[in-house]
């Protein structure tokens, strides 16, 4: 490594991309005519979304219908039926299925005026198209994310029919075939419900923003900034993984994408410094998961949360900000402790880029992000408007850069000094190719997300139709004995189990629909946003829970490690985060609810110390190896510090101080002897 050039292992990049792209974009790698046809459809989807983001979304049902039409078509084009399918070909039956599924979703748009006139009274053909669309949504979701979510949705559909035959605790009056299909297909309560609305507007806009910004080289810029800041410290590359993933999460909101982008650089360097492969992969996995917690882009689930709660997205961002920063600092602390424990050093400064020159050289990368924050925070615009402003700014800045490069000015002339002052179309052509590639990748990623949101909407639709939410509230209250903390524990376990096969967004939708009302019923004084953030956090933690954790598999591929060991070690690092969601319920001040600046600052300081103590307890190391009773005291102190309060903070600080004193004394004795 020399200057600002960071060496990258090409084999690692390809390995991680293969795993990650299979999860995010689909396993098919098309060439020739099929590539151009499918690519044109993907770009058309992104152009439609970009147009509606800038000039205003269509009527709710129309926007969702067109979005789902594209999503279903792309799912059948890019996600094969089985893993044994040929990755470079599309079978005839998939082309037929793509056409039928797309028409089923678009039917609502094509015959919108007629459907409005016969609301609640669908024709036999309406019912047929509804059945086709429901089945195709289930199959598209199965291809994109696996069997668990479609299976859960199918069970809920069966529940809608079987209500009269179930035990009293689960029973309802039951609904006919026509009524169920009508509710799930022709209302905004089922497939075309809130999850798909969010996918078709806010989420796509932010994914597209991240895709365009990534093609400009912004991700590499953030990586270099992270290396210049913390690369020289103990275990430098591990800390770079944490810092850069926080940057990436602010843009992408995807844990797997973070692993692909940062892990191909940081994991080989961590191994070079002495980290075991499974530990290096685990650190990158945990860091990439943490990136999803960082505002303003926290994945599709956060946007759905704002819609469920009926509050501006900015309120969700503000509530999530303090816990996210505390959690990032705790992960940095855990990584530092691991580095000290194993005696690992950082990268020599001479091999690292210098902060100020790198920072100044890439200031233009910060302009679109600044515009995004300005509209979101200062102007308090909607997320869609804010993302659209960020997209337009990004396109303008880098188009201007390309034009300057075409005349031999700026960075283009620096790389090709002999062409200075000579006109060339290459920079503009490259800009066009990068822009088209960003549109293409954004659509491929959103195809799976759109199908997932539509599938999750089926669950929500059945719950609203049957009143299952009230039944589940009674069940949960009965199981927990009305005890809020036991109810929270049940919710946590359910989230983790569900998350082993269901992605974060669907996990949140299901749990927020079923569990959140029950928790609110147990204690009406708990802010509803605290309950939803509780579910959201454990949904993200579940995404990294072994044995199903795609990010860990991608990281393990780069590290050359066992995926299960990587996942287990990542889960150990994530254990420090398990305390935070419980604090949302017991201490809403952590979410900046009914608090002051001084109180929030004190919460930040004490909770950060507490999370560091928890990390030390989990790693069994502070300044030297911790004895069992020291770990127990540190754990108790961490719990006390994370929960705001004079008594708990005092007790926690005394406990941490005592262990630190004992550790330092033992280290001095060892040095003397």
Instruction: Say how many C-beta atoms besides its own lie within 10 A of residue 74's C-beta.
Output: 28
- Position 250 scores a pLDDT of 60
Q: Residue 494's pLDDT band (boundaries 50, 70, 90)? A: confident
In a domain, 442, yes or no: no
In a domain, 471, yes or no: no
What's the start-to-end Cα distance of the chain, in Å?
40
Burial (CB < 10 A; 0-12, 13-18, 19+), residue 128, is middle
Q: Which of 503-507, 508-512, 636-640 has the lowest mean pLDDT?
A: 503-507
Q: Is the pLDDT of residue 405 over 80?
A: no
Give SS3 for 2: strand
- Position 98 scores a pLDDT of 95
Q: Is the pLDDT of residue 237 over 80?
A: yes
DSSP state of 544: T
* Mean of the per-residue pLDDT values of the chain: 85
- Position 414 scores a pLDDT of 46
- Position 244 scores a pLDDT of 80
What value does the mean pLDDT take over residues 625-650? 88
In a domain, 36, yes or no: yes
pLDDT digits (tens, 9 = 90+) for 312-358: 888 998 898 888 888 888 888 888 888 888 888 888 888 888 889 98
pLDDT digits (tens, 9 = 90+) for 48-62: 999 999 998 898 899
What does the block give as tokens for 274? Answer: 């002495």
Overall domain count for the chain? 2
What one-character-per-residue DSSP string does 384-418 give? Answer: HHHHHHHHHHHHHHHHHHHHHHHTT-HHHHHH-GG
- Position 291 scores a pLDDT of 73
- Position 424 scores a pLDDT of 67
74 contacts 447 by C-beta, under 8 angstroms: yes
Most confident among 11-20, 363-372, 637-646 (mean pLDDT):
363-372
Q: Is the pLDDT of residue 270 over 80?
A: yes
Q: Is the pLDDT of residue 365 over 70?
A: yes
The boundaries of the domain holding residue 660 are 595-673
Query: Which has more confidence, 314 or 471?
Result: 314
Give SS3 for 388: helix
In a domain, 516, yes or no: no
Scanning the structure block, which residue is given the tokens 């195709």?
Answer: 136
- Position 5 scores a pLDDT of 43
Residue 79: left (phi > 0), alpha (psi -120 to 50), or beta?
beta
- Position 620 scores a pLDDT of 86
What value does the mean pLDDT take over residues 576-596? 85
Q: Is the pLDDT of residue 185 over 80?
A: yes
Burial (CB < 10 A; 0-12, 13-18, 19+), residue 254, is buried
Q: Is the pLDDT of residue 551 over 80?
A: no
In a domain, 32, yes or no: yes
200 contacts 450 by C-beta, under 8 angstroms: yes
Tell me how far apart the alpha carbons of residues 107 and 85 are, in angstroms, rounded to a whole number. 30
Query: Whole-prediction pTM value?
Result: 0.86
In a domain, 63, yes or no: yes
- Position 413 scores a pLDDT of 45
Q: Residue 634's pLDDT band (boundaries 50, 70, 90)? A: very high
- Position 139 scores a pLDDT of 96
Q: Is the pLDDT of residue 247 over 80?
A: no
- Position 15 scores a pLDDT of 55
Scanning the structure block, which residue is given the tokens 């998961």?
Answer: 289
242 contacts 332 by C-beta, under 8 angstroms: yes
- Position 423 scores a pLDDT of 53
What does the block give as tokens for 493? Answer: 């376990």
- Position 19 scores a pLDDT of 57
What one-character-per-residue DSSP string does 155-169 give? Answer: HHHHHHHHGGGS-TT
Query: Residue 2 phi/psi, 5° resolution?
Result: -145, 135
Counting residues of the chain whose pLDDT is more than 70, the rounded percentage is: 91
In a domain, 382, yes or no: no
Most confident among 80-84, 136-140, 398-402, 627-631 (mean pLDDT):
136-140
Domain stops at, among 195, 213, 231: 195
Domain stops at, among 138, 162, 195: 195
pLDDT digits (tens, 9 = 90+) for 411-470: 544 445 444 444 567 878 888 898 999 999 899 989 988 999 999 999 999 999 988 877
In a domain, 330, yes or no: no
Q: Which of 37-46, 253-262, 595-604 has the lowest mean pLDDT?
A: 253-262
- Position 249 scores a pLDDT of 65
Counting residues of the chain whose pLDDT is more than 90, the rounded percentage is: 29
What value does the mean pLDDT take over residues 256-272? 77
What does the block give as tokens for 351? Answer: 């091999």
274 contacts 344 by C-beta, under 8 angstroms: yes
Which residues, listed in sequence order, are joined to residue 625 by a DSSP beta bridge? 621
pLDDT digits (tens, 9 = 90+) for 129-177: 999 999 999 999 999 888 889 999 999 999 999 988 888 878 888 899 9
Domain stops at, among 176, 195, 214: 195
List the one residue out of 508, 517, 511, 506 whose CA is nearest residue 467. 517
- Position 17 scores a pLDDT of 59
Q: Is the pLDDT of residue 26 over 80?
A: no
């Amino acid at each position: 490594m020399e200057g600002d050039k960071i060496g990258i292992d090409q084999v690692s990049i390809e390995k991680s991309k293969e795993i990650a792209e299979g999860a995010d974009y689909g396993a098919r790698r098309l060439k020739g005519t099929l590539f151009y046809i499918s690519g044109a459809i993907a770009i058309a989807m992104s152009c439609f979304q970009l147009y509606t983001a800038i000039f205003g979304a269509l009527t709710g049902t129309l926007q969702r219908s067109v979005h789902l039409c594209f999503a279903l078509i792309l799912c059948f084009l890019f996600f094969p039926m089985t893993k044994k399918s040929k990755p470079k070909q599309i079978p005839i039956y998939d082309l037929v299925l793509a056409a039928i599924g797309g028409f089923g979703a678009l039917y609502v748009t094509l015959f919108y005026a007629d459907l409005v006139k016969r609301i609640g009274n669908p024709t036999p053909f309406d019912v047929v198209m509804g059945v086709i669309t429901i089945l195709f949504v289930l199959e598209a979701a199965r291809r994109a994310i696996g069997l668990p979510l479609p299976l859960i949705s199918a069970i809920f559909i069966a529940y809608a029919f079987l209500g009269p035959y179930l035990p009293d605790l689960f029973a309802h009056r039951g609904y006919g075939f026509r009524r169920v299909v009508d509710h799930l297909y022709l209302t905004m309560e089922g497939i075309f419900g809130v999850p798909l609305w969010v996918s078709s507007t806010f989420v796509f806009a932010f994914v597209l923003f991240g895709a365009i910004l990534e093609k400009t080289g912004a991700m590499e810029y953030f990586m270099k900034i992270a290396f210049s800041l913390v690369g020289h410290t103990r275990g430098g590359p591990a800390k770079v993984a944490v810092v850069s993933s926080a940057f990436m999460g602010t843009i992408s909101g995807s844990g797997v994408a973070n692993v692909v982008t940062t892990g191909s650089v940081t994991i080989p360097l961590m191994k070079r410094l002495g980290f075991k492969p499974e530990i290096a992969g685990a650190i990158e996995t945990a860091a990439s998961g943490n990136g999803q917690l960082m505002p303003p882009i926290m994945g599709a689930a956060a946007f759905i949360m704002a819609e469920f709660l009926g509050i501006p997205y900015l309120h969700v961002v503000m509530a999530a900000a303090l816990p996210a920063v505390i959690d990032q600092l705790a992960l940095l602390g855990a990584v530092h402790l691991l580095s000290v424990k194993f005696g690992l050093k950082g990268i020599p400064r001479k091999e690292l880029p210098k902060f100020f020159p790198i920072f100044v050289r890439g200031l233009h990368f910060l302009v679109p992000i600044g515009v995004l924050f300005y509209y979101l925070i200062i102007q308090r615009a909607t997320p869609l408007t804010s993302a659209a402003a960020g997209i337009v700014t990004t396109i303008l800045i880098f188009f201007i850069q390309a034009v300057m490069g075409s005349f031999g000015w700026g960075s283009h002339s620096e790389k090709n000094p002999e062409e200075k002052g000579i006109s060339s179309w290459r920079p503009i052509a490259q800009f066009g190719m990068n822009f088209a590639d960003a549109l293409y990748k954004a659509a491929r990623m959103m195809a799976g997300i759109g199908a997932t949101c539509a599938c999750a909407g089926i669950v929500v639709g059945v719950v609203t139709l049957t009143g299952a939410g009230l039944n589940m509230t009674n069940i949960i209250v009965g199981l927990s004995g009305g005890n809020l903390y036991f109810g929270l524990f049940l919710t946590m376990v359910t989230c983790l189990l569900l998350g082993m096969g269901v992605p974060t967004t669907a996990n949140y939708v299901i749990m927020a629909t079923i569990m959140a009302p029950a928790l609110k019923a147990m204690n009406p004084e708990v802010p509803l946003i605290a309950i939803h953030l509780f579910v959201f956090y454990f949904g993200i933690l579940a995404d990294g829970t072994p044995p199903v954790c795609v990010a860990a598999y991608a990281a393990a591929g780069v590290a050359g490690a066992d995926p299960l060991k990587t996942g287990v070690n990542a889960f150990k690092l994530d254990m420090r985060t398990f305390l935070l969601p419980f604090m949302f319920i017991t201490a809403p001040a952590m979410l900046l609810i009914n608090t002051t600046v001084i109180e929030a600052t004190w919460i930040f300081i004490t909770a950060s110390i507490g999370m560091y103590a928890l990390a030390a307890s989990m790693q069994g190391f502070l300044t030297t190896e911790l004895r069992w009773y020291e770990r127990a005291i540190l754990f108790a102190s961490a719990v006390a510090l994370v929960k705001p309060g004079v008594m708990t903070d005092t007790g926690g600080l005394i406990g941490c101080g005592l262990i630190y004193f004992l550790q330092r004394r033992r280290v001095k004795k060892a040095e003397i002897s």
